[in-house]
Structure 1
Amino acid sequence: MLKVLKIDDKRVSLIDSQTLLPTFLSLTYCIHSLHRKSVNYQQKELTSIKFFYEYWLTKEGQSLDFSMIKSNFSGKTLLSMIELLDGFWLYLNNSRIEQAKNVYSLKASPYDVPTEAYSTNAAHYHSVCRFIEQLISNYISPHYITKAPDEVELCRRNILALLSQKKKQYSSYSSDKHKNDYKSLNENQFRDFVSVFPVPTNPTKDGLGKVSNSVYRQYRDHILLRFLSSYGLRIGEALLLRGSSFKPNFSETKFFMMVTNLEDNVDPRSKKPSIKTASSHRELEISQQDYMIVKGFMSQVKLISQHDFLFTSSSTNASPLSYQGARKIIIDASNRMKKLFPHHFDITKSDHLQTISPHMLRHTWAYFQLEHIFRRYTADFIKAGAVDPKGIMKSAIDHLRSLGGWSARSQMPAYYGKRFIAKRANELSMSKFKEDAFKHFNIELPIFLRNIDESSIDK
Structure 2
Amino acid sequence: MNVKYQNLSPTDAHNIQKNNEKVLAAEIKSFSSLSVSNNEPANRYKSITKIQYIALNNMLIPSTPEFTDIDTGEVYEAVINTQNPFKRGFEQYRNYLIHRLMYTYGLRVAECLMLTKDSIGPTLPDARGDVHYVLIVQSLPNDIEDPRKRPPSLKTVNSHRHIKLDIDDYSLLTIYIESYRDPVFKKKKTKDHNILFIKYTGKLTPLTYDAVRSFYKKK
CA distance in 1, matches of 2:161, 2:114: 13
**What do the CA deviations read for 1:391-410 (whole angstroms, capped 9, x no partner)?**
xxxxxxxxxxxxxxxxxxxx
**Residue of structure 1 equivalent to 2:50:** 187
After TM superposition, the score normalised by the length of structure 1 is: 0.31
**Residue of structure 2 equivalent to 1:221:** 95
The residue correspondences of 1:279-298 to structure 2 (distance < 5 A) are 279-298=158-177
CA distance in 2, matches of 1:229, 1:221: 12
Letter in 2 for 1:195: N
Secondary structure of the residue that 1:196 maps to in structure 2?
Answer: helix
Secondary structure of the residue that 1:257 maps to in structure 2?
Answer: strand
List alignment gaps of at least 5 residues for structure 1. Answer: 1-175, 205-212, 334-459
Secondary structure of the residue that 1:315 maps to in structure 2?
Answer: coil
Check 1:191–1:284 CA distance in 2 against 1; reply closer, same or farther (3 A cut): same
**C-alpha contact (below 8 Å) 2:123/2:132 kept by paired residues:** yes
Secondary structure of the residue that 2:60 maps to in structure 1?
Answer: coil
Aligned counterpart in structure 2 of residue 236 of structure 1, from 110, 134, 139: 110
**What do the CA deviations read for 1:294-339 (whole angstroms, capped 9, x no partner)?**
1111112112232222211110421110110011112234xxxxxx
Secondary structure of the residue that 1:303 maps to in structure 2?
Answer: helix
Check 1:218–1:316 CA distance in 2 against 1; reply closer, same or farther (3 A cut): same
Answer yes or no: is 1:258 the counterpart of 2:136: yes
User: What percentage of residue pairs aligned between the two structures are identical?
Assistant: 26
Cα deviation, residue 203, structure 1 = 5.6
CA distance in 1, matches of 2:149, 2:55: 35
**Residue of structure 2 equivalent to 1:310:** 196
**Residue of structure 2 equivalent to 1:246:** 120
Letter in 2 for 1:272: P
The residue correspondences of 1:10-409 to structure 2 (distance < 5 A) are 179-180=44-45, 183-202=46-65, 214-251=88-125, 253-264=131-142, 265-299=144-178, 300-305=180-185, 306-333=192-219
Check 1:242–1:321 CA distance in 2 against 1; reply closer, same or farther (3 A cut): same
Query: How many equivalent pairs are there?
Result: 149
Secondary structure of the residue that 2:164 maps to in structure 1?
Answer: strand
**What do the CA deviations read for 1:208-227 (whole angstroms, capped 9, x no partner)?**
xxxxx711111111111110
**What do the CA deviations read for 1:417-438 (whole angstroms, capped 9, x no partner)?**
xxxxxxxxxxxxxxxxxxxxxx
**C-alpha contact (below 8 Å) 2:115/2:140 kept by paired residues:** no
Secondary structure of the residue that 2:88 maps to in structure 1?
Answer: helix
CA distance in 1, matches of 2:121, 2:89: 26
Greater Rg by CA: 1
CA distance in 1, matches of 2:43, 2:168: 33
Cα deviation, residue 272, structure 1 = 0.3
**C-alpha contact (below 8 Å) 1:228/1:235 kept by paired residues:** yes
**C-alpha contact (below 8 Å) 1:203/1:215 kept by paired residues:** no
Letter in 1 for 2:49: N
Check 1:253–1:177 CA distance in 2 against 1; reply closer, same or farther (3 A cut): farther
Cα deviation, residue 177, structure 1 = 8.9
List alignment gaps of at least 5 residues for structure 2. Answer: 1-40, 68-86, 186-191
Letter in 1 for 2:215: I
Secondary structure of the residue that 1:285 maps to in structure 2?
Answer: strand
Check 1:178–1:276 CA distance in 2 against 1; reply closer, same or farther (3 A cut): farther
Letter in 1 for 2:116: R
Letter in 2 for 1:322: T
Cα deviation, residue 202, structure 1 = 1.6
